[in-house]
Structure 1
Amino acid sequence: MTERIGVLGGGSWGTALAVLLANKGLEVEMWVRNKSQVDEMNETRVNNKYLPNAKLPVNLIINDDLEKTIHKKDVILLSVPTHGVRETLLNAKSIIDKKQIIVNVAKGIENDTLMRISEIVKEILPNNKYAMLSGPSHAEEVALDIPTTIVSASLDKEVAEYIQELFITPSFRVYTNPDIIGVELGGALKNIIALGAGISDGLNYGDNTKAALMTRGIIEIARLGTALGANANTFTGLSGIGDLIVTCTSMHSRNRRCGILLGQGLTLDESVKEIGMVVEGVKTTKSAFKISEKLGVEMPITDEIYNVLYNNANVKDSVNKLMGRDKKHEMEDVARNFNYNW
């Protein structure tokens, strides 16, 4: 392949994917906003701030010139935090050619508009084809060629398969999925549950608690997802259960680590400052809470995490509220549609 890729964003995930593509021999250029970070990365050939365990290949170009990074590229990899997507695209709009494919790897929902990233891209760049990469994939492990599987999602089958071929390597297996809504929501909403899993760990609760959070969490994710038009089957796959498992159980997960600090008694501001990087689940919790209220979708775990983050609720009180809810049928959504004889 001779494709040329422009990577927007120099965080851990953008860096890991830029390294992966450069190691395949592709022409890769990465835009990093901070000039001092660019200079350091070019001098040391390491992204010390976000991904210190990955050596940057010599053919990976790093700069702070947005226009140069985008110019004459076949694919634009969008790897900035969700809250920065709109600003980045607006700044790049006059530079991006309609033939360039936009591939997003950020996981979140915009707070003010409650839009998914594909919707933001469609609004600003209506003529560009779009794909999303998501799944259980920590940048720290991808950078070390540890076997990883993800999903390439697009409404256009040819685009999904093109991105699949572009990114696939012997240690990075890529599947395709047409359900862009489900893949985006699975990647975004699992961060909320990971915050809860971290809070549970911070409170020194056990495996039983975390298993309950994860299992009931995927129910909430699927419930909101299907209400927004996603296919329920997507949430049983890599971008659903797969991403949920890795984010709730790994110390690579910023969301879990932030939750642990909250469970140990730190404030939200203190916890985020301690992590030192964007914790997507914090903003996503606010978006999901607003959407669930708007649609009348029941999401008790999300509600309690929202109360902890934004209403200063005591974490143990929130756990007690969840445990003390009215008795339910486990498959309550399914049970409404079937007449069980028992």
Structure 2
Amino acid sequence: MKVLGIESSCDETACAIVEDGKTILSNVVATQIPFHRVYKGVVPEIASRKHVEWILPVVKQALKEANLTLDDIDAIASTNRPGLMGSLLVGLTFGKTLAWSLNKPFIAVNHMLGHLYASHLANDIPYPYIGLLVSGGHSIICKVSGFDDIEVMGTTVDDSVGEAFDKVAKFYGLGYPGGVIIDNMAKKGERRAFSFPMPKLDSAEHRYDVSFSGLKTAVIHQRDMFWNEGYEKSDENMCAAFQETACKTIVSRLLRAVDDTGLKTVVAGGGVAANSRLREMLAERTDLNCIFPPLKLCGDNGAMIAGVAYHFLQRGDRSGIDTTACARIPQFKKGLQLHRR
């Protein structure tokens, strides 16, 4: 079964064709970074207009790279939540219209399910496992028992980790996107130059939750307070220390989930899953089987959407032509299940 997957939840116009939920025949991503860099963040209006301009050429390119025609496609899938409403509507409307015109099945996919599935495109991963979803909009620790059977154990109580990276980079004028820039600068810095505080969320209610608001504030407004004598107050040192604390915050909560569930496999997904220090920290845990997606599948892409859609289709699910987009999904709480609708 060949599924054409469309992803347009934020500022990447993406389309991929995946066979049987595993084999990537093509994976095209048109990035809008140059258009948003001047604003040091994504401008929703610009994003949606670029999606309108690029969606058809990107789909055509995906078909060309796969050496297929629309007649060869068995089903169409699009992201319908969460994300920027204008951006979502472009990809969703295009996907529904294409499926309707070709009389082919259509599946609307939750973007979060896609990021957690990305590692499955390159690995055979048995369920259950502990999932780590870290991106510009989300920081989630969950128990994954199936492609759409995901129990949220912990999440952020304020900012997401990706948001913290971007805002620190913006404040210091380091550039955009902040996560990649801070990661690269941190490799030239000294982690011990600053001792930034880690959040204290030790109650049973917040056992697996993370927080980045206090860390972000300390780095932006109080870094002199946490500077260690003997080290230079450089941007490289600041980035290294900030990244170290942010990654330790995530890993400490993740390991709690591992200990409490007894599950020794950890699967990561989302843009921050590309962070080199986070990967190093988890690789150091030789008692765990830590799996990350290939770097090209950490960011938004159509392959993860097509991969998830295949399993819905195999189960007999279909999405109606009246399926709509939703910018947000319910506030994550302990025990909440992530579903497509």
- Answer yes or no: same fold by TM over 0.5: no
Q: Normalized per residue, which structure has more strand?
A: 2
TM-score by length of 2: 0.31
Q: Normalized per residue, which structure has more helix?
A: 1
Larger RCO of the pair (alpha carbons < 8 Å, separation 6+) = 2
